[in-house]
Every structure is written in C-alpha cells, then in structure tokens.
C-alpha cells in the first residue's frame, strides 16, 4: 500500500483494510537524500503570488525556471507546489531554491513527523494538514512543507485538489489585514495558522458523531455501534499524532527563535501554540468520551441481556409448577388396581379441575411477579 493510502480515511472499504502504520520508506541502505516518487502522486502544479504593500500579482502553471526569475528582493514571493508526481520538476525546484538533499527527502518522502529544521539561510517546517471530507464522512491528513527564505516562502503539498489556504489568498488579493505590509515570516505564520485552524472543523464533525453515537449506544446498540466506536477512537488517535508534533515544533520555534523570523512576528506564533493546545485538549476529551461510550455500550448490552434473562426466568417460573402437574398426571398408574392410584382420574370434572388449577397457579404467579415489579421492567425490552 502506498503512503497516500495512509492519509485517506473512510474510503469505500472496510476499516480493517486501513492501517495506521503504512509509511513510505526508502530501501534499507539508501544514501541520504534519496527520494521516492509514489505512483499515485499527481503532476506538480506551481502557482506564485508576488506582493508587497502596493503590488500584487498571481501567476499559475509556472515552470521551475520561471520560479527563479520571479525571486525579486523587492517583493515577497509565495511559491505553492501542489503535487509530487514528477521527480525532474522536484529536482529542478531544488536547484532553483538551493534546497539541501535532506530537505528534498523530507518534502517528497511522505509522511514525515511534523518538525522544524534550520538550514542556515532557510527554515524548513514540516506540518500535517487536516481536511474534512464531503458530508463529514471522515478526513484527509496531508503533509505540507514550508521552506522559509529571506523574501520568499515555498509550500509543497501532496495534492492540488484541496488545501486550507484560500482565506490567505483572499487576504493577499484584497489587501486585508496587515499581511501585505509584513515580510515572508508573517506569511509563514499565516499559512501555518490556517493549517492548525483547519483541525477545528474536523473536530466539530467528530463531536457531532460522538453525540449521535451516545444516542445510539443508549437506544439501540448493536455490533455496528461497536465498530463505529473503535473507528472514532482510532481516527482521533491519528489526529492527535498529527497535531501533537506541531505543538512541539512551534514551541521549539518560540523558545529558540530564528534569524529569519522577527521577534514581533514570533509573538503571533504563540497564538498558533495556544490553538494546538486547545486542539489537543479537545481531542483528548473526545477520546475519553469514546472510551466512555465503550463502557456504556458494554453496560447497555449487559443490561439488555439481563432483562431478556429476567423475562425468560419469569416465564420459566410460571411454567415450572404447570409442568410438574402435567408430568404428575402423565404417570401410568391404574386407579382400578388401588384407590390410591390417582382416584381423581375418575372424577367427572377432573380434567376441567386440573386445567383450572393450573390456570390459577399461573395467574397467582403472574400477579406476584407484577407486584414485585419484574414484569413492568421486562415490558420495556426492545
């Protein structure tokens, strides 16, 4: 299974076919900087936004050579590469931006653990972006890599179909806020903040799922309910792994700083850190709720089984004396041989008397069980 399958959840396949541990690794013994292109990766699409306080330009379908031409020290350049399916384009971009071979390996061989790496004149940031699938039927987890330079930001995404940067593009286009008055470090903050904020809609969807599961567990628990609980716990674990390392990376950046990031901009990263802590707390809360649902499910199943067993016990208790009487008169004794051999068999009203006696016993037991509340409890069994 390719690395891409690690990040696509809720496919039209059984949950058991999806593993948490499907990573793309190079062959053992490969030299450092070896890159492996997935057969499912799409052709890179390169877009560029050049801007400053008074100027804005948006370009699409660039080539690596054109990227080098647009590295203007008077402008802030945001190069967005979406797709990792062409090794030659990736290598040309590495030459244009003077990327270290290890940086290229981390960017292309996905997924990597979110982290920050300092390469003198560049700051490399590896993150994980979460996107909610249509109809809240799961989520995508996709690696996004940042390369921060003096007057440019290079972002590398796995796929071109989706990202959470549309609001940033709109802010740049409309000159909203202070983003066009700042340098590339502020753009990096804005992009990373958008990625972190993208976890909130995903968590909101999972909160609604857990509420629905609570109703299902209390109302009509079944085997599918148990599968849903396990699936939610597993996916929350994946979300936690995606955001936990980002919190550590932001904390490292805030603590150590970097020459490419101004101290005035570094303050904004503290807001990103607060968001990661909030997301982690929410995930932990949901995981505890999911674990609690497991206990509630087991209790509900056991209670339902106890109610069924109680009803069966009541029915058995009613029929035990009736079975005894029916078995007693099923014995083959001849009343003509001895007057002690079931003389009631010769009674004129013997059979109606026996049936009436059995009915009376059944009614007495039913009234007794009803007064004890046993029948009232079992009457609610679904």
Q: Report the pLDDT value the prediction gives residue 1, as an integer from 0 to 100.
A: 35
Q: Report the pLDDT value the prediction gives residue 291, as an integer from 0 to 100.
A: 87
Mean pLDDT confidence for 140-148: 92
- Confidence band (pLDDT; 50, 70, 90) for 169? very high
- Residue 33 confidence (pLDDT) above 80: no
Q: Considering only CA atoms, which of 169, 195, 165 is closest in space to residue 50?
A: 169
Q: Which residue has the higher pLDDT, 145 or 227?
A: 145
Q: Report the pLDDT value the prediction gives residue 23, as an integer from 0 to 100.
A: 52
21 secondary structure, DSSP code:
T
Residues 6 or more apart whose Cβ sits within 8 Å of residue 270: 254
What digits encode the pLDDT tens for the residues 246-273? 999 999 999 999 999 999 999 999 999 9
Domains of the chain: 3-167+180-299 (3.30.460.20), 303-378 (no CATH)
CB of 103 within 8 A of CB of 117?
yes
- Confidence band (pLDDT; 50, 70, 90) for 377? low
Residues 6 or more apart whose Cβ sits within 8 Å of residue 378: 307, 310, 311, 314
The total number of residues written for the chain in this structure: 382
- Confidence band (pLDDT; 50, 70, 90) for 221? confident
Mean pLDDT confidence for 97-126: 90
What digits encode the pLDDT tens for the residues 133-142? 777 677 888 9
CA angle 127, 143, 138 (to 5 degrees): 110
Residues 6 or more apart whose Cβ sits within 8 Å of residue 324: none
CB of 45 within 8 A of CB of 77?
no
Q: Report the pLDDT value the prediction gives residue 331, as an integer from 0 to 100.
A: 80
Weakest mean pLDDT among 25-29, 107-111, 238-242: 25-29
For residue 326, CA distances in Å to 39, 339, 348 come to 77, 21, 18
Bridge partners (DSSP) of residue 261 are: 258
Separation of alpha carbons 370 and 7, rounded Å: 57
- Confidence band (pLDDT; 50, 70, 90) for 378? very low
Average pLDDT along the chain: 84
Q: Considering only CA atoms, which of 364, 321, 27, 4 is closest in space to residue 158?
A: 4
- Residue 281 confidence (pLDDT) above 50: yes
| Rg, Å, the chain Cα set | 35
- Residue 14 confidence (pLDDT) above 70: no
Q: Report the pLDDT value the prediction gives residue 3, as an integer from 0 to 100.
A: 40
- For residue 103, the Cα-to-chain-centroid distance in whole angstroms is 29
Q: Report the pLDDT value the prediction gives residue 51, as an integer from 0 to 100.
A: 94
- Confidence band (pLDDT; 50, 70, 90) for 362? confident
Mean pLDDT confidence for 358-366: 88
For residue 125, CA distances in Å to 146, 238, 253, 327 come to 5, 20, 10, 84
What digits encode the pLDDT tens for the residues 100-112? 989 998 898 888 8
- Confidence band (pLDDT; 50, 70, 90) for 191? very high
Indicate the SS3 state at residue 247: helix
Q: Report the pLDDT value the prediction gives residue 340, as an integer from 0 to 100.
A: 79
- For residue 127, the Cα-to-chain-centroid distance in whole angstroms is 17
Indicate the SS3 state at residue 45: strand
Q: What is the number of other CB atoms lying within 10 angstroms of the CB of residue 245?
A: 18
Global confidence as pTM: 0.76
Separation of alpha carbons 121 and 29, rounded Å: 30
What does the CA dihedral 246, 248, 254, 260 come to, rounded to 10 degrees? Answer: -50
Indicate the SS3 state at residue 29: coil
- For residue 68, the Cα-to-chain-centroid distance in whole angstroms is 40
CB of 378 within 8 A of CB of 314?
yes
Indicate the SS3 state at residue 90: helix
What digits encode the pLDDT tens for the residues 300-355? 777 778 878 888 888 888 888 888 888 887 787 777 778 778 888 778 888 888 88
- For residue 83, the Cα-to-chain-centroid distance in whole angstroms is 24
């Amino acid at each position: 299974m390719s690395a891409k399958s690690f990040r696509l959840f809720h496919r039209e396949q059984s949950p058991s076919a999806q593993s948490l541990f499907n990573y793309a690794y190079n062959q053992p013994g490969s030299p450092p900087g070896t890159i492996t292109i997935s057969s499912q990766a799409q052709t890179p699409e390169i877009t560029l936004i050049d801007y400053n306080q008074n100027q804005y330009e948006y370009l699409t379908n660039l080539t690596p050579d054109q990227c080098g031409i647009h590295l203007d020290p008077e402008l802030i350049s945001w190069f967005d590469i979406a797709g990792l399916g062409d090794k030659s384009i990736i290598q040309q971009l590495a030459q244009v931006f003077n990327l270290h071979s290890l940086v290229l390996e981390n960017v292309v061989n996905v997924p990597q653990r979110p982290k920050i790496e300092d390469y003198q004149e560049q700051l490399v940031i590896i993150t994980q972006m979460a996107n909610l699938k249509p109809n809240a039927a799961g989520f995508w987890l996709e690696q996004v890599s940042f390369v921060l330079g003096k007057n440019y930001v290079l972002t590398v995404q796995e796929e071109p179909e989706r990202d959470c940067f549309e609001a940033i593009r709109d802010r740049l286009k409309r000159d909203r806020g202070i983003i066009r008055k700042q340098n590339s470090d502020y753009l990096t903050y804005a992009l990373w903040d958008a990625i972190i904020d993208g976890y909130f809609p995903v968590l909101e969807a999972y909160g609604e799922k857990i509420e629905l599961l609570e109703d299902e567990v209390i109302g009509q628990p079944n085997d599918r309910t148990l599968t849903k609980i396990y699936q939610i716990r597993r996916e929350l674990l994946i979300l936690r792994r995606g955001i936990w390392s980002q919190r550590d990376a932001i904390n490292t950046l805030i603590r150590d700083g970097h020459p490419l990031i101004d101290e005035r901009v570094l303050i904004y990263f503290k807001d990103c850190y607060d968001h990661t802590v909030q997301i982690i707390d929410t995930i932990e809360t949901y995981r505890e709720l999911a674990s609690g649902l497991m206990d509630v499910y087991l209790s509900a199943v056991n209670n339902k089984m106890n109610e069924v067993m109680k009803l069966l016990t009541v029915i058995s208790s009613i029929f035990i004396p009736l079975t005894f009487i029916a078995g007693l008169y099923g014995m083959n004794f001849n009343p003509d041989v001895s007057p002690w051999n079931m003389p009631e068999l010769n009674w004129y009203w013997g059979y109606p008397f026996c049936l009436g006696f059995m009915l009376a016993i059944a009614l007495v037991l039913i009234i007794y069980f009803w007064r004890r509340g046993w029948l009232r409890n079992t009457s609610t069994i679904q």
